[in-house]
Structure 1
Amino acid sequence: MTQSLFKTALILGLLTAIGPFAIDMYVPALPAIGEKLNADVPHVQASLMVFLGAVALCQVFYGPVSDMIGRKPPLYFGLVLFIVASIGAAMAPTIGWLITARIVQGIGACAMMSLPRAIVRDFHTGPEAARLMTLLMLVLSVSPILAPLTGSLIIKAWSWRGVFVFMMLAAVLGIFLLAFALPETRPPEKRVESGISHALASYAMLLRDRRFMGLSFIGGFGISSFFGFIANSSFVYIDHYGLGPTSYALSFSVNAIAFIGMAQTTSYLAQRYGFSRIVATAAAGFCIVAMILFGLFVAGIDGLPVLMVFLFVAFGFLGIIIPSSAVMALDDHGEIAGSASALMGTVQMVTAAIVMAVVSAFFNGTALPMVGGIAACSLVVLALSLAIVRIPSANESVSQAASG
């Protein structure tokens, strides 16, 4: 592992983590926000959903713009917008004000959550891209571990408004890292053919690319299973199983440990066995574990240790599926990596939002709807992997033609 590779992964991971921190660190503050702003639960939850909606929809704009003018200017814009919105959220006198600030904050966070994948593709392809992507995931995976605990500590020491001040300071750090530690990876000579018409043509081409869309949805339903967990886990762990907030935060973070550990094996496994094989194998493992867990809960075996052990294994498989499918999807689209990364992010976030809403609608106070949602996502991931990963990429087709 070279120092420059780790440095790049650290910077990109910290930039990408700003958005997830704005989700995971914010969740413990929801009850306090409702109490202080005299808002009911649906309105408080709306302040979370509009953030996710803004992130999902705005990626389709950031991607082409980054192809046209470079990666760094849109990142600067997103960071500044995030800082302004964080200050506005910290000062919010009403829930309506807070919801508006969260929309703007989501628009800003979208740049940091979508463009680092394009930067990874600018640097590398194949196993090297997987290596950088998994290092990025290593930094990013710290968010589910630290964010809920950090949010809880800030709320206890100050108030829920302090959470947004912390977000603002993280974005300020992001600007310094972007300015002094990350080079521009989209030089002017690569922007010549970029433009609005080119962006529209790129999106049309990507939407017709069965391999790209299939791999995007494989990652999307993998991510959706975790978002279904996020939306319901606090109610399940705290209300159903009786954990306290700190115990819940620690239990929540266990899944990130599995994801981190398995994600670090991706580059080695890809070099030895190939991306197609490891994604197909991990998808099968994910589905088997999730379906067994669902069967146990349907049979009435409802226990926290059972849930935690099976989710630990299941989300470990996701540590292979998500970064590998992203590398595979972007591998053929280096010239439009910004647009490809943006469309992938939009597909995945919209899918996750829909799955989260459906799972939440069936919530009955137990873990069964959450487990059922994870199992359903695992079935889709397996079905897509069987249908898609056997399709050779353009690079593989060229290699086969040359060898033949």
Structure 2
Amino acid sequence: MNTRLFGAALILGLLSAIGPFAIDMYLPALPTIREALRTDVDTAQMSLMAFFAAVGIGQLIYGPVSDMVGRKPPIYFGLVLFALGSIGCAMAPDIHMLIAFRFVQGLGACAGMVIPRAIVRDMHTGHDAAQLMSLLMLVFSVSPVLAPLTGSLVIRLTSWRGIFWTVAVVAVFGLVLAATALKETRPREARVASNARTALAAYGTLLRDPHYLGLVFICSFGVASFFAYLANSSFVLIDHYGLSPTLYGLAFSVNAVSFIGAAQFTGALGKRYGLPRLVRSAVVGYSLVMVALLLLNLAGIDNLGVMMALLFVGYGFLGLVMPSSAVLALEEHGKIAGTASAFLGTIQFATGACVIGVVGRFLDGTARPMLAGIAACSVIALVLAQRTLRQRPAPVAEASAD
């Protein structure tokens, strides 16, 4: 393994994981927060949707700004804002203040979620980029694997408010890491032509690129299916299936391990078969498994073991789709990598928030609405992949960008 590549992935993965850590660590607390702040399920989930909405909106700003001023200053600003939002959440007296500070927290979190993708594009393209992206996701996996368990432990030792104090400390650590170990990959000469006018022009360019948009929406509906699971799994697994918060954390981690583990094969598989072919094939497997899971549930097989097994397989296929489609989306937009990464992230989180909202309208105390949302997202991703990647079947270039 390339030591330099792994070192970059370690730093970027840890910075990327800070925002998702605030999501995943928070999930076991949702039922507790609902009771403690005397609210209902829909309003409690609004605190999650506010975070998603803020991340989606904020990325539209952070991406172009990182093209203009470099990658590091926006990361500093975002981490400070994230820490302040976390402290506000920890001290929130009611659900409405919690929702407001979750929005602030999300505005800070998105810096660490969008800029590392642009840094990957600054450093590499093609299969090297796919390998770095998958390594980044390996480090990133610390969030969905450990965060729910950590959240459960913090709730047990303190309260749900302790979760936000914990992520505030994590943000401070990330700030120190960014200042001391992260190198600037956007040189001054590359920033000269970047300004507000060129940022708007860049968004226009992206909106006129159907290949880019197709790949972005493949990513977005893949992420949205996971968001549907994120937002509803604590209520389904804890309230419907009767798991404790600790067992819920373990169950949640299983799917994360599948997703991240499969992602580590994207570099090798992409080199052998080509990234477009890899995405098309993996999306087929992902959709077939998720639709099968929904059909079994509709047939009356409401079994936790069956659901967890098929989600494990389905999210494994999704782990092949996500890094590959993200690399393909950014491939031809290196000069505006920050903006392209930001737009990708914004559409991902906007799509995820919409799916959460739609699924939330049909909650009935069972797993069925959640599974229906996941299956619908997988089918849409399948249709998009077949249409988008048929347009440009040529393999991705392997050249590296300096």
Q: Aligning the two structures, in what range does the TM-score lie when normalised by the shorter sequence?
A: over 0.9
Question: Partner residue of 2:283?
Answer: 283
Q: Distance in 2 between matches of 1:308 and 1:27?
A: 17
- Mark the CA change 1:122 to 1:91 in structure 2 (over 3 Å): closer, same or farther: same
- Measured after TM superposition, the shift of residue 296 of structure 1 is 1.3
SS of the residue corresponding to residue 243 of structure 1 reads coil
Q: Is the CA contact 2:126–2:396 (under 8 Å) kept in the aligned structure 1?
A: no
Question: Partner residue of 1:360?
Answer: 360
SS of the residue corresponding to residue 54 of structure 1 reads helix
Q: Distance in 2 between matches of 1:7 and 1:86?
A: 28
Q: Distance in 2 between matches of 1:306 and 1:36?
A: 33
Q: Distance in 2 between matches of 1:73 and 1:112?
A: 11
Q: Distance in 1 between matches of 2:134 and 2:144?
A: 16
Q: Is the CA contact 1:9–1:132 (under 8 Å) kept in the aligned structure 2?
A: yes
Q: 1:238-288: per-residue Cα shift (whole Å, max 9, x none)?
A: 222222221111111110111121100000001010001100000111111
Question: Partner residue of 2:133?
Answer: 133
Structure 1: 5+ residue stretches without partners? 400-404
Q: Distance in 2 between matches of 1:331 and 1:143?
A: 27
Equivalent residues in 2 for 1:1-400, closer than 5 Å: 1-392=1-392
Q: Structure 1 counterpart of 2:237, which letter?
A: Y
Structure 2: 5+ residue stretches without partners? none
- Mark the CA change 1:396 to 1:304 in structure 2 (over 3 Å): closer, same or farther: closer
- Measured after TM superposition, the shift of residue 173 of structure 1 is 0.8
How much identity, in percent, do the aligned residues show? 59
- Mark the CA change 1:141 to 1:179 in structure 2 (over 3 Å): closer, same or farther: same
Q: Structure 2 counterpart of 1:45, which letter?
A: Q
Q: Structure 1 counterpart of 2:209, which letter?
A: D
SS of the residue corresponding to residue 150 of structure 1 reads helix
TM-score with structure 2 length normalisation? 0.95
- Mark the CA change 1:31 to 1:238 in structure 2 (over 3 Å): closer, same or farther: closer
Which deviates the most, 226-235 or 64-73?
Answer: 226-235
Q: Distance in 1 between matches of 2:99 and 2:398?
A: 50
Q: Is the CA contact 1:332–1:393 (under 8 Å) kept in the aligned structure 2?
A: no
Q: Structure 1 counterpart of 2:323, which letter?
A: P
Q: Distance in 2 between matches of 1:310 and 1:31?
A: 25
Which deviates the most, 130-139 or 236-245?
Answer: 236-245
Q: Distance in 2 between matches of 1:345 and 1:121?
A: 15
Q: Is the CA contact 1:285–1:317 (under 8 Å) kept in the aligned structure 2?
A: yes
Q: Distance in 2 between matches of 1:47 and 1:341?
A: 25
Q: Is the CA contact 2:224–2:377 (under 8 Å) kept in the aligned structure 1?
A: yes
Q: Structure 2 counterpart of 1:329, which letter?
A: A
Q: Distance in 2 between matches of 1:340 and 1:122?
A: 12
Q: Distance in 2 between matches of 1:161 and 1:226?
A: 25
CA RMSD of aligned residues (A): 1.8
Q: Distance in 2 between matches of 1:395 and 1:281?
A: 15
Q: Distance in 2 between matches of 1:70 and 1:387?
A: 36
Q: 1:180-216: per-residue Cα shift (whole Å, max 9, x none)?
A: 1110010101011101110001000101100100000
- Mark the CA change 1:379 to 1:118 in structure 2 (over 3 Å): closer, same or farther: same
Q: Distance in 2 between matches of 1:309 and 1:396?
A: 33
- Mark the CA change 1:113 to 1:398 in structure 2 (over 3 Å): closer, same or farther: closer
Q: Distance in 2 between matches of 1:295 and 1:392?
A: 33
Q: 1:285-309: per-residue Cα shift (whole Å, max 9, x none)?
A: 1111112212211211221111111
SS of the residue corresponding to residue 234 of structure 1 reads helix
Q: Distance in 2 between matches of 1:160 and 1:308?
A: 26
- Measured after TM superposition, the shift of residue 27 of structure 1 is 2.0
Q: Distance in 2 between matches of 1:20 and 1:365?
A: 26
- Mark the CA change 1:213 to 1:278 in structure 2 (over 3 Å): closer, same or farther: same
Q: Is the CA contact 2:29–2:155 (under 8 Å) kept in the aligned structure 1?
A: yes
Q: Is the CA contact 2:290–2:374 (under 8 Å) kept in the aligned structure 1?
A: yes
Which deviates the most, 223-232 or 310-319?
Answer: 223-232
- Measured after TM superposition, the shift of residue 89 of structure 1 is 2.0
Q: Distance in 2 between matches of 1:393 and 1:76?
A: 40
Q: 1:73-117: per-residue Cα shift (whole Å, max 9, x none)?
A: 000000111112222222223333322221211110011111111
Q: Distance in 1 between matches of 2:107 and 2:50?
A: 10
Pairs aligned (count): 399
- Measured after TM superposition, the shift of residue 394 of structure 1 is 9.4
